[in-house]
Structure 1
Amino acid sequence: MRYVQLRAFHHVALHGGFSRAAEELHLTQPAISDQVRKLEEEYDVRLFDRHKRQVRLTEQGARLWEITKRLFDAEQQAADLLSESRALRAGTLRIVADSALHLLHILAAFRRRHPGVRVTVRSGNTETVLESLYRYDADIGVLGDLPERGDIEALRLNSTPIVAFAARSHPLAGRGPLTLAELAALPLVLREEGSKTRRKLEQAARAAGVALAPAIEAEGREAVREIVASGAGLGFVSRAEFGADSRLVEIPLALPGGPLTMDEALVCLRERRGAKLVRAFFDAAAEGGA
């Protein structure tokens, strides 16, 4: 049982329909229907009788609603209490990012404005960032793309091309752009399968009829960087994340459809966009970290 499933059920019961519940939660009707369906399937129970555009609670659904009314009433009371607290002076903001490099200027500005707030930053790929948000293990995420989800609020941070990189001592260091066919014949160091950078490269290669297979697969950007620096193969990263490392050399890519770009975005659950700390961090980001 997940919180989002109970929340979807509760609002359908409260508002008497899936469309009105979706409007209230700023989600799509299919998203609400899917959450309720999963809840019913997980426990092999029917919570609503559906007839055309009308829905009615079953006996089991009515009993569950009595519980969720107490649950969400308590949640609202907690929210009211916390809204009166010192959130912007002594709260904790949890961030999970595919790369903290995109946050540096925002973090500095946020800390100047709210020095009492504790900020935690964890690393993760696209999949783990979204999972952390949906599990409420994080307040804000940073993704290597703009998500197309109705329940996610996003703010674009930057857009930069994906490039290859190699150890300075590598035979290809300093040469011109590499094609996909050339990459297929080289030892590649790729991130885990949940990585958006890897997914975009593999999609571009498949479209060109080329197969890219990792000689080494490593979890996390830093692990890839260290392996590449040892001379074991070529890695890939967005140019904004290449950074300054005297051991490494950037190598551009020559792709049939033009550059592959990573649109880094600051994201949060739409329902949490109004939370004080989340709103304050998005404000700092929108103002360019000034």
Structure 2
Amino acid sequence: MDLLPLRYFRVVARHEHISRAATELRVSQPSLSRTIARLETELGVPLFDRRGRHVRLNRFGATLLRRVERALDELEQGRRELADAAGLAHGSVAVATETLLTLVEPLTGFRNDHPGVDVRLHQSSVDGLLERLRRGEVDLCLMSQPVDDPALESAEVLHEEVLLATPLGHRLATRERIGMGDLDGEPFITTRPGYWQRVLTDRLFAAAGSRPTIVCEADEPGATAYLISSGLGVGLLPATARRFAPHAPLAWLHLDAPDCHRTLTFVWRRDAYVSLAAQEFRAHVTATVRRAAAGDEQAEQRPAVLP
């Protein structure tokens, strides 16, 4: 059996929509439809229930998809093992993360050290990250929320305090520490549900017996600092964000709230082959992020030099 129709079948099964699958595969819709029809003829059963361009996986298709996912995943892992045998110059790594900003600095150094490695990045909420990981679309997830899944392994990259950021002219900007009660009614800038900032925001307010007054929900956690500096509201940001947004005029306050921290973690499948490129990428990012965080902490503790 030819592998190409099976790869096409897997994408159509995931989308349950011919045109969307054709767009992802970069083939024409008629060509994709013919390929699926030939596969059904070869197998002797229909794989989808059809309604125009919309298709729904039937029981035959669901059975085949489970086998196809496993078979193609095994072949991909075999390809990665062979690439490792040829050395890092021919490797590849696919990473999914909630925010790409964290990877900018480490990626620069990794590309300089390993110019031949093909790096692919994906961004989404936690549910999207884990779905890509379980389907074998990515090697690693870099995430800021705990995952309780025995099929996954994880390694901590950084555990850091989360601060409250306010515009410089805000009524709280001159304070060093505040409590959750000081934030009642404050316009809050955060992310959509599913991202770590929103999860932490909702948890802290719930523990204080209140709810946040959300004025902005974003898909890019890295944009939060600039939205806060515009005067739209206040929000939670990790301590390392002070380095990523040096030109955003912000005040940074410690929040007296239980477990107001972020733990940055790499996650990968326990049963999957972790390529040499993925291992090297994980080690490089971890070392770079920790080194930068240590430098930030030393700079914060260094006394100011008066003119």
What range describes the TM-score normalised by the shorter chain of this pair? 0.5 to 0.7
Is the aligned partner of 1:161 residue 2:161? yes
C-alpha offsets along residues 109-151 of structure 1, whole Å, 9 cap, x if unaligned? 5334422112233333323322332233322221113422112
Task: Please state whether the residue corresponding to 1:84 is helix, strand or coil.
Answer: helix
C-alpha offsets along residues 182-240 of structure 1, whole Å, 9 cap, x if unaligned? 21221111211111222122122212212223122222123322321210110211112
Q: Which moved more, 1:183-192 or 1:85-94?
A: 85-94
Residues 1:125 and 1:163: Cα distance change in structure 2 (over 3 Å): farther
C-alpha offsets along residues 69-90 of structure 1, whole Å, 9 cap, x if unaligned? x985676456445533446213
Residue aligning to 1:52: none
Q: Which moved more, 1:109-118 or 1:198-207?
A: 109-118
CA distance in 2, matches of 1:72, 1:273: 13
Name the TM-score, length of structure 1 as normaliser.
0.66
Residue aligning to 2:192: 192
Residue aligning to 2:26: none
Is the aligned partner of 1:263 residue 2:267? no
Residue aligning to 1:92: 92
Task: Please state whether the residue corresponding to 1:271 is helix, strand or coil.
Answer: coil
Residue aligning to 2:5: none
C-alpha offsets along residues 28-47 of structure 1, whole Å, 9 cap, x if unaligned? xxxxxxxxxxxxxx8569x9
CA distance in 1, matches of 2:188, 2:138: 32
Residue aligning to 2:178: 178
Code of the aligned partner of 2:238: S
Residues 1:272 and 1:113: Cα distance change in structure 2 (over 3 Å): farther
CA distance in 2, matches of 1:273, 1:239: 34
Code of the aligned partner of 1:241: A
Unaligned runs of 5+ in 2: 1-8, 12-56, 292-307
Residues 1:195 and 1:77: Cα distance change in structure 2 (over 3 Å): closer
Task: Please state whether the residue corresponding to 2:122 is helix, strand or coil.
Answer: strand
Residue aligning to 2:81: 83
Contact 2:94/2:120 (<8 A) preserved: yes
Code of the aligned partner of 2:191: R
Task: Please state whether the residue corresponding to 2:162 is helix, strand or coil.
Answer: strand
Contact 2:166/2:233 (<8 A) preserved: yes
Task: Please state whether the residue corresponding to 1:252 is helix, strand or coil.
Answer: strand
Residues 1:122 and 1:81: Cα distance change in structure 2 (over 3 Å): closer
CA distance in 2, matches of 1:265, 1:253: 23
Deviation at 1:176, TM superposition (A): 2.9
Q: Which moved more, 1:153-162 or 1:130-139?
A: 130-139
Name the TM-score, length of structure 2 as normaliser.
0.63
Which of the residues 245, 248, 251 maps onto 1:249? 251
Task: Please state whether the residue corresponding to 1:199 is helix, strand or coil.
Answer: helix
CA distance in 1, matches of 2:104, 2:285: 10
Task: Please state whether the residue corresponding to 1:209 is helix, strand or coil.
Answer: coil
CA distance in 2, matches of 1:130, 1:108: 25
Aligned residues: 232
Contact 1:190/1:214 (<8 A) preserved: yes
Contact 1:152/1:268 (<8 A) preserved: yes
Alignment map for 1:124-135 (pairs within 5 Å): 124-135=124-135
Q: Which moved more, 1:150-159 or 1:89-98?
A: 89-98
Contact 1:163/1:251 (<8 A) preserved: yes
CA distance in 2, matches of 1:230, 1:203: 26
CA distance in 2, matches of 1:215, 1:178: 21
CA distance in 2, matches of 1:78, 1:138: 11
Contact 2:226/2:248 (<8 A) preserved: no
Say what the alpha-carbon RMSD is for the aligned residues: 3.4
Residues 1:126 and 1:184: Cα distance change in structure 2 (over 3 Å): farther
Deviation at 1:105, TM superposition (A): 5.6
Residues 1:262 and 1:87: Cα distance change in structure 2 (over 3 Å): same
Residue aligning to 1:53: none
CA distance in 2, matches of 1:217, 1:124: 14
Residue aligning to 1:280: 280
Unaligned runs of 5+ in 1: 4-41, 48-60
Contact 1:146/1:154 (<8 A) preserved: no
Identity score, percent? 19
CA distance in 1, matches of 2:69, 2:169: 61
Task: Please state whether the residue corresponding to 1:161 is helix, strand or coil.
Answer: strand
Contact 2:225/2:237 (<8 A) preserved: no
